[in-house]
Structure formats: C-alpha cells, structure tokens
Structure 1
C-alpha cells in the first residue's frame, strides 16, 4: 500500500500526527521520508480528506520540535553521536557527508539551517550539527522556525493548489492532460532540487581546501 493510500484510510487526526512525528524524527537526524509524507498528505487535502492548514501546521510543529531536540542531542553528545550514527547509517553519516555539512554550516551559519530545510542532505544535519558546533540557540531557533514555516507551509500550499488546478483541468481535458501536467511538475521539481544540490556541493567543496580528513569539532559560532 502506497503512503497516500495508507494516509487515506486512517482518521485525519492520526494523519496529522503521522506527518508531525515522521518529519520530527527526520529532523532529529534519522533518515525518514518526511517530504514524501508531507506531499502525500497535501494531495489528500485536495479531495477534502484532510485540512491543508492542519497538514501544514503539523509539518511545521514536527520540523521545529524535531530540529530543536536534534540540536539538544548534538549539543550534549557532540562528535561521539556522529561516530555512532556513522556506523549505523554510513550512507548518510559517513566522514565525507559530515565534513561537507560542517563546512557549509561553518560558512553560512543561520542560512545553512534555513535553506538546509529544503535540501534532504542538510535537513537531517541541521539540528544535530548546529548543536555540535555550538551555534547559539536563539540563532538556531529563529532560522529553524522560519525555515520550517517556509518549507512545510510552502510545500503544502504548492502541492495543494497544483492539485486543485490539475483536477480542474482534468474535468475539461483528460487523464492524458493530467499526466502531462504531473510530468511537467515532476521535471521542474527535479531540476530545482538538482540545482540546489549542485549549489550545496559547490559551496561545500569551496571550503574544503586544507580541510581533508578533518573530523567534526566542537566550536562556537
């Protein structure tokens, strides 16, 4: 059963809790499909199964609370936490990924937290790494809150209104027309995400001179 079908067969309040919990756990630093859950729930709102506002609010709460807990954990356990995560999730928390994320956060600070919400690679690092690097919590909270609102609210609104438009077109055209719209939307999303990842990679590589082999260090912002 697909995520959207599963969400469709549970009470709305459970769907909202699922959105908040999955996104919150992902924000803690554990790789989960938070974006997929959010998009699926937003699509259900098109048919009135759930409220788009409630979906967006649930996602924001999950993102902000999850990142804050991740920050506290990173602040408390520091580098040792990434060592353990690297053993359990080498694909996401290997030395290369951690060093790359660290360079981005050291260079961009609060902006890395804000824009990191839109990039899957950085989304799981934002809270824990900000805590490890001792970013002042008030700075982290501001960037975390604004990033969570922009990402969760923006994604929910975009998917919801695109779904409404697609349904309107479907009444006037055909399933073939809807399929074409979906393909175009998917292509645009892929291009935007590819450019964002490429930009993040360039920013990370530009700060890597003389930094090879460096482990995460505890330092102030």
Structure 2
C-alpha cells in the first residue's frame, strides 16, 4: 500500500478515480484506503476536497456500472457453469435472483459499505438480472453516501483534531 500516496500526489484525483473505478468492478485494490489518503491530502491542502469527492463518486459509480454490464452480459452463464464451486446451486441462484428483484435496491445501496461486496456489487447485480434503472439509482446514491463519508469524514475530523491540539 506504500504506492498509494505517491500515486495520488503525482497524479492527483485521476489516480484516485482509476483506483476506485477498477476496485468497484472486482479488481482487488485498496480503494477505501486510497480515498482516506486523498482526504488527508486534501486536509493538508494538496488536493481540493470537492475534487476528491467527485473523483471518488464517479469512480465508484462508473466502476460498479461496468461490473453490472459485465455481469449482465457474461456473468449468468459463468454462475450456471461454475456456481457449484462456491456452492451456488440452481436453487440458490433462483433465490438470489428473487432477492435481487425484491430487495436489490437496498442490497446495492448498502453493499458499498462492506468490503468484499463493494468489489462484487455490480457483477452480482448484473448477473442475477437486477433491473438497470433500479441499479443505477441505488448505485449513485450508495456511492454518494460512501464517497461522502470517506471524503469528508477524514477531512473534517483531521481539521477538528488539529484545532484541539
């Protein structure tokens, strides 16, 4: 993880966007750590906090949307063929699809806050056939809440801590 801060210092919020984009559709990258580091750099004055938030929100939304499209157009056959390897029987797949249809909006909205689900959120939603319009809205709101928490939280608490010391 020692490469994150130098990358963000060198390339700014573009590096943050790229890290979060790829993390959001399944690549194992330290997105949350990168966002916290960028927030702390913004508190130090090296980045603009509004840019940090926007880059993180866009990276998360576009990354999850890419994952959704990958899942939608290729994930279902993979789940049917190799699902047994992760104990995903046809009955469990049917149950997962029904759950996504019924509660998919809240699943996508909250998955961003759970480490492994954040990376697989879009892939799963697309693979089980969650309606696109539900996914997009839940994804945008969830990403805004998550990006807001990890952008502005460290930024403001760092400033508050400095004032207390």
TM score, norm. by length of structure 2: 0.84
For the Cα contact (< 8 Å) 2:71–2:126, is it kept in 1? Answer: yes
Higher RCO (CA-CA < 8 Å; seq separation 6+): 2
Equivalent residue in structure 1 for 2:152, among 150, 157, 163: 157
Unaligned runs of 5+ in 1: 87-93, 171-221
Name whichever structure is richer in helix by fraction: 2
Equivalent residue in structure 2 for 1:137, among 109, 121, 132: 132
Q: Deviations over 1:100-159 (max 9, x none)?
A: 9x4895363110100001111210121011111111100000000000111002211111
Which has the greater radius of gyration? 1
* Cα separation, 1, equivalents of 2:141 and 2:86: 29
Summarize the Cα distance change of 1:61–1:81 in structure 2 as closer, same or farther, 3 Å threshold.
farther
Aligned partner of 2:111 in structure 1 is 116
Aligned partner of 2:2 in structure 1 is 2
* Cα separation, 2, equivalents of 1:69 and 1:8: 23
Summarize the Cα distance change of 1:84–1:29 in structure 2 as closer, same or farther, 3 Å threshold.
farther
* Cα separation, 1, equivalents of 2:86 and 2:40: 37
* Cα separation, 1, equivalents of 2:75 and 2:9: 41
For the Cα contact (< 8 Å) 1:25–1:32, is it kept in 2? Answer: yes
* Cα separation, 2, equivalents of 1:104 and 1:24: 28
Does the alignment pair 1:72 with 2:69?
yes
Q: Could you say what the CA RMSD is over the residues aligned between the two structures, in angstroms?
A: 2.8
Summarize the Cα distance change of 1:21–1:132 in structure 2 as closer, same or farther, 3 Å threshold.
same
Summarize the Cα distance change of 1:103–1:80 in structure 2 as closer, same or farther, 3 Å threshold.
closer
4+ residue runs over 2 A deviation: 1-5, 79-86, 102-108
TM score, norm. by length of structure 1: 0.64
Alignment of 1:182-197 (within 5 A): none
Equivalent residue in structure 2 for 1:95, among 77, 86, 89: 86
Unaligned runs of 5+ in 2: none
Aligned partner of 2:45 in structure 1 is 48
Equivalent residue in structure 1 for 2:35, among 31, 34, 38: 38
